[in-house]
Amino acid sequence: MPTIKINNVDIYYEDSAPNDVKKPVMVFAHGLLWNAQMYDKQVEYFQSDYRCIAFDFRGQGQSEVTKSGYDMETLTEDALGLLAALDIDKCHFVGLSMGGFVAQRIALKRPDLLLSLTLLETSADPEDPKNVPQYRKLVKAIRWLGVKRVSNKIMPIMFGSSFLADKLRKSERKQWITMLQGNRKGGVIKATMGVIERTGTYEQLGDIITPTLIIVGDEDVATPYPKAERIHFAIAGSKLAIIQGAGHTATVEEPEQVNRVMSEFLAHLGDCQLN
């Protein structure tokens, strides 16, 4: 799959139907420490009806590690640059956690580009000051020990207890911890600092006019239910869905539930547009 130069950075992306101009476009933005693969089950499910584009943020996955540009505003410009480079003038935008921080900013800055907004496991607030010291400690550990040495501490933040305890999913867990350990140290450190130091968008959420779906796992410890509810109450007309038995990575843990609620949301949107 290709890379494309956006804002002088090589951004990796996957496009399920690059030559299809008739299908509506769905764009997927991943969470911190992961990459486009966290949406494999969604792409597989939606690609028959949508042109699905998933990309890696700078410093993560297969995109270029840069010296700077890991603040949410620059990452938003990267995402907007990708849409422009691929000649996408309307899309359904899906963002999880860090991808959700970016998705909110796109909805505020360029609502004309969006047909819908799906926010998974994310927050509209700055990082909780109580969490900042432990995240800085994590960054320090990654800097000195590498991602591999701290991966067992990261997994319970990223996944819920049901997924982590399921004996039948042992090989799946191994796959994801291997992916986590494969992160490049420089990119991970910078990306994590970008998340820790982000500003909030909560005060502006009332300006979002895009039809919005908010999804949260009932076992999410990183951005628990109250964070999702707070966004839901702030965005007029938004829908809120709870994924049972999922933590901070519901697209992987409970893909069937996520796909179903997204499908229902998109079908309802389609019905509204027909009426």
Chain-wide mean pLDDT for the chain? 95
Which domains can be identified in the chain, with CATH numbers?
Answer: 3-274 (3.40.50.1820)
pLDDT value, residue 39: 98
pLDDT value, residue 270: 74
- Distances in whole angstroms, Cα of residue 76 to Cα of each of 25, 82, 98, 137: 18, 10, 11, 27
**What pTM, to 2 d.p., does this model score?**
0.97
pLDDT value, residue 226: 98
Give the tens place of pLDDT for each residue, 167-226. Answer: 999 999 999 999 999 999 999 999 999 999 999 999 999 999 999 999 999 999 999 999
- Distances in whole angstroms, Cα of residue 153 to Cα of each of 31, 139, 157, 165, 265: 17, 12, 8, 15, 35
pLDDT, mean of residues 125-134: 89
Q: Is residue 275's pLDDT more than 50?
A: no
Q: In the chain, what percentage of residues exceed pLDDT 70?
A: 98
Q: How far is residue 260's CA from residue 243's CA, in Å, rounded to a whole number? A: 10
Q: How far is residue 92's CA from residue 85's CA, in Å, rounded to a whole number? A: 17
